[in-house]
Amino acid sequence: MQKNNSRIILASSSVYRKELLSRLQINFETAIPDINESQFESESPSQLVQRLSKEKAQAISSLYPDAIIIGSDQVAAFDNKILGKPGNFENAVTQLKMISGKSIIFHTGLTVIDGSSNKTQTDEVKIKVEFKSLSDETIHNYLKKEPAFNCAGSFKSEGLGIALTNKISEDDPTALIGLPLIRLTQMLENINFNIV
């Protein structure tokens, strides 16, 4: 049975995720989940993003039990340790110096809950970003032009930050911005919601 008239809710306050989901040209609403996003002790980045994407979707699903809920969460990890959002210029400089000439992995968790069938799908998409060797001058110039203080890893791949990278290895370019649309489309098709 087709579900293309189902109510869809994106469990997120992110303007980036909202913009990405709108690319699929479907009607959706947004709702902000109220969950604790702290990492558990000994929880890997993969486990964290999958758990949080699910908890976000579940929090909104309890408010809209018949809707299709989309939850997503993302972290950047260096040496399997999570890089937080820098918050200010000094922290961003420190992060970029640390990852200069190295690679970080972006882990994006995705959950789709279909309230009408009570089916939950959770997955993760990983993206490897290899950085150029960055001089202090390059780092300072970048952050003056694009103060990416609210971005994990201190750079925006969809903006000027792309100039800091050597290579991005991924199966879904939208995952890097925070919502893997290829995987999401597959999950929606699994519950008979067809995008096209």
Q: Which two tokens stand for residue 165?
A: 């990278």
73, 79, 136, 171: which one is catalytic? 73
- Active site (annotated) includes residue 171: no
Q: Which two tokens stand for residue 189?
A: 């098709």
Triad 31, 39, 68: Cα angle to 5°: 30
Which residue has 């604790």 as its token pair?
36
Query: How many angstroms separate the Cα of 31 from the Cα of each of 8, 14, 160?
Result: 10, 10, 30
Q: What is the DSSP string of 13-38?
A: --HHHHHHHHTT----EEE------P
Q: Kindly give, in sequence order, each residue whose CB lies less than 8 Å from that of residue 171, ignoring residues fewer than 6 positions away.
A: 125, 182
Which residue has 């702290």 as its token pair?
38
Active site residues: 73
